[in-house]
A = this chain, B = another copy of it.
């Protein structure tokens, strides 16, 4: 008997009818002689509503109580989904993160999974239950509920699949993973296969399909992932160790908006290390960095996020900011064996009169910092150039 973990996000569970639809899918899968473990998120906007409510009672950020509060969202989902399956005449049992064996460590709101003790999950599977598990949550050594941070239900699902040694299917409100976000470029191609590394780069570079931590665990334990829409027969995207042999150079184009471009001339005696140590001390998110010496003067340029502007200003007054900046990234395993992608893009942008501020590259990605106003034009040029 084959076991699989299926994960459904909040948008798949936002109404009573949608919960009943997911219940039908699970009962059908179970009928096909599978052992089904289903990991769920909180219904629709529940998490946002709870966060709003907490803001009304307190201006402080009490992370322990916030975790307790937010974890109720998934508890509501597992109870309702189990009832809906039961109503269809199929055995289902709900388990909280704690009952499903998720032991965590680290600070509340960003807990890390230490281990998953799947004894009870496996027992209930043997007894013929569809096991419904609350994602996003676990319990720490003190016996307190912890949450794994936004997107944590993906991580829960993959960790459970890793421990059970099975595949993990992540159902979402898109049909799979595309070469470009279909909301930005309508005729984007759906990708049937991606490697772990490509998916992680995409997730880190702004694609909001699956939590990067989930992909990292999938890679480590070689859990085969499948990302798809829950309500159609359309094939989604498989993510595993190796991409197709006949791979295209670029498999994905991702865009991150709300980038802040920061410039600073170092003061006399000030070192680059000192500057970045100050920024790190404030937990400021720093991305692409470059430095340039002109005569005796050293100029530092880096990107951060618009939200962190105040924090950066707190450090010193002599930063220069440029807003309305975006990061356009090309990602593909094929880049490894096909040098010259950066050069092709430089030529392309230059020939079309589009400027960029900074470039950064990894083994399988290349990112350009550009004015947000130019992103549409750049996307069109790149989609055409690399047949995305």
> Which residues of A are interface residues toward B (Cβ below 8 A)?
16-17, 19-20, 23, 50, 53-54, 56-60, 62, 64-66, 68-69, 71-72, 75-76, 78-84, 86-87, 93-94, 96, 99, 143
Contact = CB atoms under 8 A, between A and B. Distances in A.
Given A57-B87, A75-B75, A143-B99, A82 B65 contact: yes
A166 to B, nearest CB: 25
Contacts of A17: 56
B94 A80 contact: no
Contacts of A71: 75
A60 B83 contact: yes
Give 4 closest A-B pairs by Cβ, nearest first.
A16-B56, A58-B87, A69-B79, A58-B83
A80 B62 contact: no
B82 A94 contact: no
Contact of A94 (B50, B54, B68, B84): B68
A95 to B, nearest CB: 9
Contacts of A81: 57
B68 A54 contact: no
Given A69-B76, A72-B75, A94-B68, A83 B54 contact: yes
A141 B167 CA distance: 33
A71 B87 CA distance: 21
Please tell me how many copies of the chain the complex holds: 2
Nearest to A43: B53
A80 B54 contact: yes
Nearest to A61: B83
A71 B57 CA distance: 21
Given A16-B56, A99-B143, A75 B83 contact: no
A68 B79 contact: yes
Nearest to A52: B16
A83 B65 contact: yes
24 contacts: A16-B57, A20-B57, A23-B57, A50-B76, A54-B79, A54-B83, A57-B81, A57-B83, A58-B83, A58-B87, A60-B83, A60-B86, A62-B83, A62-B87, A65-B86, A65-B94, A68-B75, A68-B94, A68-B96, A69-B76, A69-B79, A69-B80, A71-B75, A72-B79
Contacts of A143: 99
Given A16-B53, A16-B56, A78 B68 contact: yes
Contacts of A86: 58, 60, 62, 65
A44 to B, nearest CB: 12
Contacts of A56: 16-17
Contacts of A76: 50, 53, 69, 72
B87 A60 contact: yes
Contacts of A94: 65, 68
Nearest to A67: B79
A120 B326 CA distance: 51
Contacts of A87: 57-60, 62
Nearest to A57: B84
Contacts of A99: 143
Contacts of A83: 54, 57-58, 60, 62, 65-66, 69
